[in-house]
Structure 1
Amino acid sequence: MIRTLGAILPDLTPFRSSRQFRLLWLQGLVTYFGSSMAMIALPLQIKDLTNSPLAVGAMGAVELVPLIVFGLYGGALADSADRRRVILLTEAGLGVLAVVLLVNALMPSPALWPLYVVAAGVSALAGLQRPALDSLLARIVPHDQLTAAAALNSLRWQIAAVAGPSLAGLVVAYAGTPTAYAITIVGFAASVMMCLRLSPAPPSGAADSPSLRSVVEGARYAWSKPVLLGTYVIDLSAMFFAFPLAIFPFLAQDLDAQWSLGLMYGAIPLGSILVSLTSGWASRVRRHGLMVVFGAAGWGLGIAVAGWMSNIWLVLLCLVVAGGGDAISGLGRATIWNQTIPEEFRGRLAGIEVLSYSCGPQLGQVRAGAMAGWTGTRTAVWSGGLACVAAVGLLSAVVPKLLTYHADTDEDALRRRAQKEATDAADAAEAAGAA
């Protein structure tokens, strides 16, 4: 039984082998919980000040452009600057913006415009930071532990995504928005202290300053690698066709189960959590392209069946299955990226991934809403799920190298493994010499 549990439960090897990973994992958990307070309090404060759904929805439009622009720039920055420094400064900047929110909330008549300015600033800083965070993983974790590290990072995010907003809702309801913003400040302060304990992560070799040319160079590299390109377009397609969260309130109404709305939003991350908690098997997978394809198809199929079902409990079960498929696909994508992308391009390609991460769900919300207005809510859900499955199948046929990807034979994976082993050996020799 112990052996069976060991094969199923998450692989904790990265925790044991890398102090830097432990620090980064804990720092991320603290940041997610702290920022959840502001994430819930900010739109609620806009609602209280305006009583306008349009004013609340405008926050998404304010956030999207800075995330895209600074995400691409942040990718180039992560390849040319010390990634630890980028993470540290952006965390400090996010803490300063939380102070602005707190000061505004404590005023006798809080102003509306600072809330939009802060929302845009948070989006810009997140765009700058995420490529540095994502590109740091492959440097601090041994090559053979990348899938396990990706699963643990996914579990961290999923726990925070479920527990963080729930706790934040209670804090806002019973203690008010100023208390929520104060907790956010404390969270960022603790995160900055942990970032100070991370080792420097300077660029490898000579690196050009961030520029449009360097961004284009990264895009060209991604375009020249069918496996990487396949992961991007499959993720983008899955989110565009099958991301119906915006119409969940209408789906709950159609099913005469308005009480289930919160459960609908929680069902997808619950499926992801279940996969992460039983992800021990993922460390033994070598065909990570198949994980991407079958996981994305499972996501689409789960959403499609949820749209067909009229029983609310079966709908929730399908959403759990969809969340599990998304988690499997995400594990495959993260592993391929970390196993194959050279160190000198890692930040810029992480910046490109920000586009997929941000644009796909946003465009998917627009598609779902427009389709629901045209055909009805349930049709919009199941048709989007089927379109996702069809798109994944078509893209798999167009990019067959993704299906045949194998971690032990892929040229880019072998080259990256050798690069990582050489770097680790040099670091060990330097440490021995210093001792």
Structure 2
Amino acid sequence: MAGLFADTTPLRTPDFRRLWLSGIVTVIGANLTIFAVPVQLYALTQNSAYVGLSGIFALVPLVVFGLWGGAWADAMDRRLLLVIASIGLAVSSVLLWLQAALGLDDVWVVLGLLSVQQAFFAINQPTRSASIPRMLPLDQLPAANSLNMTVMQFGAIVGPLLAGVLLHFVDLSTLYAIDALTCLAPIWATLRLAKMPPTEIVEGASRWGFGAVFDGFRYLAGNRVVLMSFVVDLIAMIFGMPRALFPQMAHQSFGGPVEGGTTMALLSSAIAVGAVAGGVFSGWLPRIHRQGLVVVVSIVVWGAAMCGFGLAAGLAGGRVNALLWAALAFLAIGGAADMVSSAFRNTILQQAASDELRGRLQGVFTVVVAGGPRLADAVHGASAAIVGTTVTAAGGGALVVVGVVLAALLVPAFVRYRV
């Protein structure tokens, strides 16, 4: 039984433990904002297309600064870059609080500040991920990635549920304010990390510009296994992530209020519930050698679960009933499968790359992992306006299953990949 539970060996390393503990507080605050932005946009417009548009406003800075930030992580002290990015996230959260507290009620202000916040997130995430192999031996990376995913998804549970409760007593501006306060934790943690200067700078190589970014893509072009780990995740997220539909489905499919409330909170946290359960019982992950095959199977399960979610919501009939719990169960199953997929995809990337390239490849990973769902927001929002939420959610899940199976057949090397 002990072998089923998460391996906590990486927490014995002080630097990793500080980052991990600070993340517990930070992800709760970040998820208050993740909850608040679509709720505010939908309350201002009552149109899922605007909620989906937030995906585009988040995607552009994610792509630009994810790639560039990854290059910076290879060119400078990663500890210093983490401090800068953490401060930037705190400032952007304060600005989001100000616009809500002042009652500006301007969709474009909200979208603009979301873009600023995502730019700093795009710098922070690849730098943080590229730092972990400098702290831990390679054989501890699957356990470390599982622990990080568990914390992220724990925040994705507590954040929306806490937001749903708090909105009975406070307004949206308070959610943004709490997020700003929680940003102090990672600033404290990163200031206490050991310095992480670049390990190797190739003479004549570009360190800061587009040339450094292209070096990362050049490596990807020659490594089909790592490249496929990105492709299958894009298939899973773009076609199968229905979160932009949650405000409309909570209101129309399950009879929740327009302003959000408990039903919206349950939908927003259900995927994370499954992911945390998967993380708690992740002790088997370090023993897996056929990581590519497990990634493919996990994404097939994700797609099937999202298809089931869409069908359950479509049959609910605009009221809270047993089908709500069926829909939540499908989301949770999908979350557990996504946790396994993400842990192994990140491990494949960290083990395959040398340290002088890790920042750039983690930048691409951040663009894919965080950018895919935001692109999905735009696709799902526009699709729901045309064919409805049921067809969009269920059809998207079916497309995931078909797409990932085709990808596995086209590149069998990924399925055969072993540690």
With normalisation by structure 1, the TM-score equals 0.83
The answer on 1:352 being equivalent to 2:348 is no
1:100 Cα deviation (Å)? 3.4
The answer on 1:273 being equivalent to 2:276 is yes
Deviations 1:189-248 (A, max 9, x none): 232122111111111112642111111110110121011011000000111221223334
1:385 Cα deviation (Å)? 1.9
C-alpha distance in 2 between matches for 1:361 and 1:165: 17
Larger mean Cα displacement after TM superposition, 89-98 or 79-88: 89-98
Q: Is the 8 A contact 2:161 2:266 kept in 1?
A: no
Aligned residues: 400
Match of 2:235 in 1: 237
C-alpha distance in 2 between matches for 1:262 and 1:140: 36
Structure 2 counterpart SS, 1:279: coil
Match of 1:13 in 2: 9
Change (3 A) 1:84 1:166: same
One-letter identity of the residue aligned with 1:163: V
Change (3 A) 1:55 1:371: closer
Match of 2:318 in 1: none
One-letter identity of the residue aligned with 1:166: L
Task: Give ranges in structure 2 of 5+ residues lacking alignment.
Answer: 257-261, 316-321
C-alpha distance in 1 between matches for 2:343 and 2:50: 36
Structure 2 counterpart SS, 1:348: helix
1:279 Cα deviation (Å)? 0.4
- Greater gyration radius: 1
Match of 1:133 in 2: 128
Q: Is the 8 A contact 1:146 1:335 kept in 2?
A: yes
C-alpha distance in 2 between matches for 1:46 and 1:314: 28
Change (3 A) 1:238 1:172: same
C-alpha distance in 2 between matches for 1:179 and 1:72: 33
Task: Give ranges in structure 1 of 5+ residues lacking alignment.
Answer: 408-435
Match of 2:297 in 1: 294
Change (3 A) 1:252 1:194: closer
With normalisation by structure 2, the TM-score equals 0.86
The answer on 1:147 being equivalent to 2:142 is yes
1:315 Cα deviation (Å)? 3.2
Change (3 A) 1:142 1:38: same
| Residue correspondence of structure 1 range 110-121 to structure 2 within 5 A | 110=104, 112=106, 115-121=110-116
| Residue correspondence of structure 1 range 204-223 to structure 2 within 5 A | 204-206=199-201, 208-223=206-221
1:22 Cα deviation (Å)? 0.2
Compute the RMSD of aligned alpha carbons.
Answer: 2.7
Match of 2:70 in 1: 75
The answer on 1:198 being equivalent to 2:210 is no
Match of 2:401 in 1: 389
One-letter identity of the residue aligned with 1:395: A
Change (3 A) 1:373 1:169: closer
Q: Is the 8 A contact 1:41 1:172 kept in 2?
A: no
The answer to which structure, 1 or 2, has the higher relative contact order (CA under 8 A, 6+ apart) is: 2
One-letter identity of the residue aligned with 2:241: F
1:62 Cα deviation (Å)? 2.7
One-letter identity of the residue aligned with 1:328: V
1:314 Cα deviation (Å)? 3.3
One-letter identity of the residue aligned with 2:3: A
Deviations 1:103-134 (A, max 9, x none): 55555x64746544432211111111111011
1:147 Cα deviation (Å)? 0.6
| Residue correspondence of structure 1 range 21-36 to structure 2 within 5 A | 21-36=16-31
Q: Is the 8 A contact 1:46 1:56 kept in 2?
A: yes
Change (3 A) 1:38 1:403: closer
